[in-house]
Amino acid sequence: LGRIAAHTTGPTTLVLDNARYQRCAAVQAEAKRLGLVLLFLPSYSPNWNVIERLWRFTKKKALWGKYYPDFATFRAAIDECLDRIPTDHREALASLMTLKFRTFDSDSFLTA
């Protein structure tokens, strides 16, 4: 939190994914001391987290319905899928990995 606060000016809100360690009293107190606002995503909201979109795509392409005899082959399938992002998967990921992020205010979570 200190590194983030050192690189920001003005009001800063961090959007976090609700991990238990992010909600602990020490993190809450440090964020308050640094003037950071913590905004937690609702539970079970993977579509709001861009990396979750990429992981779901990767699982679909490389893992679903497939058997790998060992960890090395399993890992190679994932690596191959990720390596093909700029070529074979570029078009499919264009809509999933959008840089247009949803904006929201903290009150919207209270009604969700």
> Looking at residues 53-73, what average pLDDT do you find?
92
Helix-then-strand count for the chain, H and E: 6, 2
Residue 9 lies in a domain: yes
What pTM did the predictor assign?
A: 0.52
The per-residue pLDDT for range 36-51, each reduced to its tens digit, is: 999 887 776 666 677 7
Helices (H), 63-100: 71-83, 90-96
Residue 109 lies in a domain: no
Higher per-residue confidence, 53 vs 99:
53
DSSP character at residue 101:
-
What residue numbers bound the domain in which 27 lies?
2-44
Q: What type of residue sits at position 90?
A: R
Domains contained in the chain, number: 2
Looking at the structure, tell me whether residues 55 and 92 fall in a common domain. Answer: yes
Q: What type of residue sits at position 15?
A: V
- Tell me, what's the pLDDT at 102? 57
Residue 27 lies in a domain: yes
The per-residue pLDDT for range 14-32, each reduced to its tens digit, is: 888 778 888 899 999 999 9
Looking at the structure, tell me whether residues 38 and 23 fall in a common domain. Answer: yes
User: What is the band of 99 on the pLDDT scale with cuts at 50, 70, 90?
Assistant: low
With tokens 């993190």, the residue in question is 27
User: What is the band of 62 on the pLDDT scale with cuts at 50, 70, 90?
Assistant: very high
∠ Cα 88 94 100 (to 5°) = 160
